Amino acid sequence: MTQSSVEKPNSYRALPDDRGHFGIYGGRFVAETLMPLILEVEAAWDAARADPAFQAELDDFLKHYVGRPSPLYHAARLTEHLGGAKIYFKRDELNHTGAHKINNTMGQILLARRMGKKRIIAETGAGQHGVATATVCARFGMPCVVYMGRTDIERQAPNVFRMKLLGAEVVPVDSGSATLKDAMNEALRDWVSNVEDTFYIIGTVAGPHPYPAMVRDFQSVIGNEVREQIMEAEGRLPDSLCACIGGGSNAMGLFHPFLDEASVRIWAVEAAGLGLDSGRHAASLTAGRPGVLHGNRTYLLQDEEGQITEAHSISAGLDYPGIGPEHAWLRDAGRVEYVSATDDEALEAFQLCSRLEGIIPALEPAHALAHVIRAAPELPRDHLLVMNMCGRGDKDVFTVADALGVTL
């Protein structure tokens, strides 16, 4: 498979095209039963985003329920420790439910209500998107079914209990590898069986069009706030951005408002698991190749037969064999630098941040932090680096204790 070479476009923010394509990526690769429904979601989304009343309602919930804007925080002790770039954290871990996921679920449930849908389904890996979906379903009194791989249910018990407390039904998925990709298959099977009344809240910038663009737009509140906040704090744009990527929604939300600022260097950090050479990782952009899964064409971890292979990461939220299609395009276009961090590097970063800043990060942004730790010392002191702290680490303390050989 040859990689498409992308000519430098006039803007990196003009895609997707009207059929949902980012270059060769994206699109709508779904069963025909779902097509009329997906076209309906697209039409509803087009109408909603052009409606000031929709945006006003969303802004109100983001402010009073989610707790936005999240602070942009100068991590002074980490900056001093690394001795290079001036490091800022975008504190999206302070959102209600503890991660960036709710920026998107709030947007999508308002759209579902606008469309008159009566029932919500979602997939989840680490459980963060499941919790964020269960939360907004509780808030609006809508029944919620969350599909979660049996393997993930076992390693993320606290989030499973949170979802149940919030009134959601958590359905264990035993098919395939019993992880996130299988949960997404099962959610698609539910959707195709309940097309009349059900809205599928996808948790990342992937899936059939319009989801990648829609989720990106809901998450762009992150980057838009950073723009204002850094201007206020420093009077200029940042020199670089850094975020972790599993499906890629927190990264896309931070990056998108800056894609056309040529002076801003952008890093996205994939999970290298036990190492890229080990075969046990989740680095689909670094080590995968283009394919079609879950409604879109994008980079996938797969074998030479086109069968999807298992991803591995210590972070359940990055443990997915695909990536949002816009990231695939940005990779080929060379606009974003895709790097990776291993389980061990993330664990180191997790501990360093906890001790130096009093912030226990989720294992997902700990991957971004691992790259910051590598890159910052090489950069001058007047270099402004913004990293997205997209989730907090409470959910991960058992995993980390286990990895460090500590019995709780």
Partner 1 sequence: MRGTGSRIARRFEALKAEGRAGFVTFITAGDPNAETSAAILKGLPAAGADIIELGMPFTDPMADGPAIQHASQRALAAGQTMDRTLAMVRDFRKADGDTPIVLMGYYNPIYIRGAERFSRQAAEAGVDGLIVVDLPPEEDAELRGPAAAVGIDLVRLTAPTSDEKRLPVLAAGASGFIYHVSVAGVTGAKSAAEGSVAADVARIRRFSGLPVAVGFGIRTPDQAASVARVADAAVVGSAIVERIAAAVKGGESPPPDMLARSVLGFVSELAAGVRGARTVPA
**Amino acid letter for position 308:** I
Judged by CB under 8 A, does residue 179 bind partner 1? no
Looking at 73, 176, 286, 344, which residue binds partner 1 (CB under 8 A)? 176
Burial of 131 (0-12, 13-18, 19+ CB in 10 A): buried
* Nearest residue (CB) to partner 1, 24 versus 397: 24
Closer residue to partner 1 (CB): 86 or 181: 181
4 in contact with partner 1 (CB under 8 A): no
Stretch that binds partner 1, among 32-40, 244-252, 358-366, 381-389 (CB under 8 A): 32-40
Stretch that binds partner 1, among 85-93, 131-139, 162-170, 185-193 (CB under 8 A): 185-193
**In the complex with partner 1, which residue's Cβ is closer, 273 or 322?**
322
Tell me which of 179, 302, 315, 388 binds partner 1, using CB under 8 A.
302
Contacts of partner 1 in 384-403 (CB under 8 A): none
**Among positions 115, 292, 356, 403, the unique one binding partner 1 when judged by CB under 8 A:** 292
Interface with partner 1 (CB under 8 A), residue from 16, 22, 23, 27: 27
* 307 is an interface residue for partner 1 by CB under 8 A: yes
Least spacing, CB of residue 76 vs partner 1, in Å: 46
Which of these segments, 73-81, 190-198, 241-249, 390-398, binds partner 1 (CB under 8 A)?
A: 190-198
What CA–CA distance (Å, rounded) separates 147 from 218?
A: 22
For the bound state, the minimum distance from the C-beta of residue 370 to partner 1, rounded and expressed in Å, comes to 30
Asked if 287 interacts with partner 1 (CB under 8 A), we say no
185 binds partner 1 (CB under 8 A): yes
Sign of torsion over alpha carbons 52, 58, 64, 70: negative
> Tokens in use for 172?
């264990």
- Residue 307 Cβ vs partner 1, minimum distance, rounded to whole Å: 5
Interface with partner 1 in residues 50-109 (CB under 8 A):
none
Among positions 193-222, residues that touch partner 1 (CB under 8 A) are 193-196
Instruction: Assess 44 for contact with partner 1 (CB under 8 A).
Output: no
Buried residues in 177-195 as b, exposed as e (16+ CB within 10 A):
bbbbbbbbbbbbebbbeee
> What is the smallest separation between the CB atom of 27 and partner 1, expressed in angstroms?
5
Q: What is the 3-state secondary structure (H, E, C) of the chain?
A: CCCCCCCCCCCCCCCCCCCCEECCEEEEECCHHHHHHHHHHHHHHHHHHCCHHHHHHHHHHHHHHHCCCCCEEECHHHHHHHCCCEEEEECHHHCCCCECHHHHHHHHHHHHHHCCCCEEEEEECCCHHHHHHHHHHHHHCCCEEEEEEHHHHHHCHHHHHHHHHCCCEEEEECCCCCCHHHHHHHHHHHHHHCCCCEEECCCCCCCCCCHHHHHHHHHCHHHHHHHHHHHHHHCCCCCEEEEECCCCHHHHHHHHHHCCCCCCEEEEEEEEECCHHHCCCCCHHHHCEEEEECEEEEEECECCCCCECCCCCCCHHHCCCCCCHHHHHHHHHCCCEEEEEEHHHHHHHHHHHHHHHCCCECHHHHHHHHHHHHHHHHCCCCCEEEEECCEEHHHHHHHHHHHCCCCC
Contact track, partner 1, 324-343, x by CB under 8 A: --------------------
Nearer to partner 1, 196 or 277 (CB): 196
Is residue 306 a contact residue for partner 1 (CB under 8 A)? yes
Q: Which is nearer to partner 1, 131 or 328 (CB)?
A: 328
Question: Could you say which of 3, 14, 35, 43 contacts partner 1 (CB under 8 A)?
Answer: 35
- Is residue 43 part of the contact set for partner 1 (CB under 8 A)? no
Question: Is 182 a residue that touches partner 1 (CB under 8 A)?
Answer: yes
Q: How many CB atoms lie within 10 A of CB 115?
A: 15
Size of the site for partner 1 (CB under 8 A): 40
Give the interface with partner 1 as residue ranges (CB under 8 A).
1, 19, 27-37, 175-176, 181-182, 184-185, 188-189, 192-196, 289, 291-295, 297, 300, 302, 304-308
